[in-house]
Every structure is written in structure tokens, then in C-alpha cells.
């Protein structure tokens, strides 16, 4: 069978065009059913483009790989998910602790009564759950591999982190979104969010690769991050502090896992499961 050639430029051009078209539609309408429809269609665009790209490729290896990443429970290594969850919990705790040391409220260690946003009356928890699943289906379903197929995981994390950050930009102008709330508070919080996504992707990449490129693993971790960001009573200022701890955590993870992040044996052989498993283990 012909070896599959990933096409990252085509994938991201189509994904951004579809996502930003629908989110621009939502921005122009500002309210009502059109707003929520535009929001939803923009959110699912990466997943739809990934699924269509994979299943129209007619490449058996790519299609089977997608299915295994999505439903292959055997790929998951729970200890890495648990470690990742604990790392992020430590990041949150250290961020709040630092804030308290400099005069921040100790109430930040408590849970919020509700979420900070709501889209059309839809449960924010449901929105977060759907967003986590849908985003990972697109990004880990094809997007990250499309970059990783040509680069080390370190370089891939930087490239994809920047792409992932840029993808969120229109959300700052859509009423009701978390990003819209940040824009209302000031440019510093917008910049902090966009920058924080990049080091955070190093954690996501680590979880993804260490779990044999499992989408299920990254969905679990992504969901945990989103819930922690919403249900822990952190102030916007503390979330800026948190970015520094995410950077520190990313550096530590890269240093400890240098072999994983800087190896290039998977380049050109990403769909070869034996090669991937040998490098991971």
C-alpha cells in the first residue's frame, strides 16, 4: 500500500478558513440562534476537517491509526495521565499560593459557584466537555500528527502551540465566551491567554506521545484542565502567575524526557506502530 504523506499546510488552511468563517458569522450576528450556530460550527470545524481528511484519504494505515487512537483503550497508560493531572494540580496550587503571598485572597483555594461563561443557556460544563472532545478529535486526530510527521516532538510542540493559540483569536470578539471576558478585562489577560497555550501544549504532547498517541488520553487531560480553570476560584491575575508555572513545568518535562522530545526516528514513520512503541517505551 502507498505510504501516506501528511499535508499540514492544506489541513490548517482549510481548518482556519472554516473555523474563522463561522466565528466571523457569529461575531457579526452578536446574539440569537445565529450566534450559537456560528459558535458551534466553528468549534467542530477542526474535527470535521480531520475526519474528512482521514477517511477520504483511502489510506488504510491512516484510517486504522485514527480508529485506534480514538477507541484503542489498550494504548492508554494511566500513570502518565495521573502524573499529568497531578502536575497541573501542583501548578494551580503553586500559582494561588504565590498570589496569596503577595496579597491575593486565600479564597482562591475554594471552588466557584458557577462557571464564568454561558453560551445560549447551554450548560457550561457540557460546553467544556464537548469542546474538549471535539478539539482533541481534530487536533490529535490529524493536526498534531501532520506537524509531528516532519519534526521532533519538541519542534512540533512549538509549531502546533502557536497554531492552537492563533486559532482561538476570533473568540475574543464573541459574546459569552471565556475569551470575550478576558478581552473585557484588558489586553494583558488576552496576551497571557495566547502565550499560555504554547507551553501548555508541551504537556499535552507529552501526554499524547506517552500514551501511544491516544486521543482518549488527551481528551481526559484537556477536560481536567478546562474544569480546573473554571471551577477553582482563581483571579485573572493569578492565572497570569500560573502561566509562569506552566512554563517551568514544560521545561522540566522536556528536560526529563529529552529522548522523547528530540528524537526524530518517527519522522516519516509515524504510522508505524512498532517504531512509535519502541521510542515511547
The string of pLDDT tens digits covering residues 232-254 is 889 999 999 999 999 999 999 99
240-264 per-residue burial string, b: 16 or more CB within 10 A, e: under 16: bbbbbbbbebbeebbeebeebbeee
pLDDT on residue 65: 95
102 touches 239 (CB < 8 A): no
Task: Please tell me the pTM assigned to this model.
Answer: 0.90
pLDDT on residue 116: 54
Identify the active-site residue in 2, 31, 144, 168: 168
Compute the average pLDDT of residues 10-22: 98
Lookup result for grid cell 526524530: 264
pLDDT on residue 277: 53
pLDDT on residue 273: 58
d(CA 89, CA 102): 20
Handedness of CA 227, 160, 190, 20 (dihedral sign): negative
pLDDT on residue 69: 94
What percent of the chain shows pLDDT beyond 70? 92
Identify the active-site residue in 31, 113, 135, 259: 135
Q: Note if 266 is an active site residue.
A: no
Q: What average pLDDT is seen over the chain? A: 90
What length does the chain have?
Answer: 281
Q: Note if 135 is an active site residue.
A: yes
Of the pLDDT bands very low, low, confident and very high (cuts 50, 70, 90), residue 278 is very low
Asked whether residue 67 carries a pLDDT value surpassing 60, the answer given is yes
Which among 210, 223, 72 has a CA at the least distance from the CA of 134? Answer: 223
For 136-172, what is each residue's pLDDT tens digit?
Answer: 999 999 999 999 999 999 999 999 999 999 999 999 9
Which among 1, 7, 65 has a CA at the least distance from the CA of 274? Answer: 65
What percent of the chain shows pLDDT beyond 90? 75
Amino acid at each position: 500500500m502507498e505510504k501516506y504523506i501528511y499535508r499540514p499546510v492544506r489541513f490548517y488552511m482549510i481548518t482556519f478558513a472554516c473555523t474563522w468563517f463561522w466565528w466571523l458569522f457569529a461575531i457579526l450576528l452578536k446574539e440569537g440562534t445565529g450566534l450559537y450556530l456560528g459558535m458551534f460550527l466553528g468549534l467542530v470545524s477542526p474535527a470535521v476537517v480531520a475526519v474528512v481528511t482521514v477517511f477520504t484519504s483511502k489510506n488504510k494505515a491512516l484510517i486504522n491509526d485514527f480508529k485506534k487512537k480514538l477507541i484503542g483503550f489498550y494504548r492508554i497508560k494511566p500513570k502518565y495521565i495521573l502524573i499529568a493531572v497531578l502536575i497541573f494540580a501542583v501548578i494551580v496550587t503553586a500559582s494561588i499560593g504565590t498570589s496569596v503571598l503577595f496579597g491575593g485572597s486565600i479564597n482562591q483555594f475554594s471552588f466557584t459557584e458557577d462557571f464564568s461563561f454561558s453560551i445560549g443557556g447551554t450548560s457550561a460544563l457540557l460546553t467544556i466537555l464537548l469542546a474538549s472532545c471535539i478539539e482533541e478529535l481534530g487536533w490529535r486526530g490529524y493536526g498534531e500528527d501532520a506537524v509531528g510527521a516532519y519534526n521532533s516532538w519538541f519542534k512540533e510542540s512549538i509549531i502546533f502551540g502557536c497554531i492552537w493559540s492563533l486559532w482561538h483569536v476570533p473568540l475574543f470578539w464573541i459574546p459569552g465566551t471565556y475569551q470575550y471576558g478576558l478581552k473585557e478585562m484588558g489586553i494583558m489577560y488576552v496576551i497571557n491567554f495566547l502565550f499560555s497555550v504554547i507551553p501548555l501544549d508541551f504537556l499535552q504532547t507529552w501526554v499524547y506521545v506517552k500514551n501511544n498517541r491516544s486521543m482518549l488520553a488527551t481528551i481526559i487531560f484537556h477536560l481536567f484542565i478546562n474544569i480546573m480553570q473554571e471551577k477553582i476560584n482563581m483571579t485573572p491575575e493569578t492565572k497570569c502567575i500560573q502561566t509562569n508555572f506552566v512554563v517551568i513545568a514544560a521545561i522540566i518535562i522536556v528536560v526529563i524526557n529529552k529522548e522523547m522530545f528530540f528524537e526524530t526516528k518517527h519522522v516519516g514513520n509515524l504510522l508505524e506502530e512498532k517504531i512509535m512503541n519502541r521510542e515511547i517505551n
